Structures are given as C-alpha cells and as structure tokens.
C-alpha cells in the first residue's frame, strides 16, 4: 500500500485512497449500503452528504459509443441542411 493512504472497502470492491495526510479522517463511522465511495463524503457536521465534485466513471467503450452516436447525429443533421 502507498504511504499516507488507506484502504476503503465497498462490498466486494476495495479502493486505495491516497494522500490521507490531506484528508480529515473519521474513526468508527458506520457506512450503509446506499453510500457509494466518492459519490458521497462524510462531514463532521452533516454526516454523509453528496460530493458535489463527484464525476461518475464512464468506461472508454461507453465514451466511444457515445461519441460515435454524436457523430452520426451531427452527420445526419448536416446532410439534412445540405440536401434540404
């Protein structure tokens, strides 16, 4: 494990979270199944709250499929403009 990091477990997944020295650490916090790592964060005043900086992971394959669909949509729109 990386120095200054910790291991977070989420069901059958494990994450190494680095730079723990820059994070506030809370001991003995019970995490319910609805809480997704990184999508929520724990605060001393509010408990678990949505992390407004969270960006969901999108696989390369999904990104490529979306870009291909966007290109096709733009191509169809351009053809409509040109051909009337």
Q: How far apart are CA 80 and CA 45, in angstroms?
A: 55
Structure tokens at 82: 């040109």
Q: What is the pLDDT of residue 61?
A: 94
Q: Map residue 57 onto helix, strand or coil.
A: coil
Q: What is the pLDDT of residue 3?
A: 53
Q: What is the pLDDT of residue 22?
A: 60
Q: What is the pLDDT of residue 1?
A: 43
Chunked mean pLDDT (size 10), the chain, 84 residues: 57 62 66 72 80 86 96 96 89
């Amino acid at each position: 494990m990386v120095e200054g990091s910790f291991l977070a477990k989420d069901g059958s997944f494990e994450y190494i979270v680095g730079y723990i020295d820059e994070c506030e650490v809370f001991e003995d916090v019970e995490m319910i199944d609805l809480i997704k790592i990184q999508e929520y964060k724990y605060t001393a005043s509010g408990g678990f709250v949505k992390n407004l900086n969270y960006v969901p992971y999108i696989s390369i394959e999904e990104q490529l499929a979306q870009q291909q669909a966007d290109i096709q949509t733009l191509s169809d729109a351009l053809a409509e403009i040109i051909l009337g």
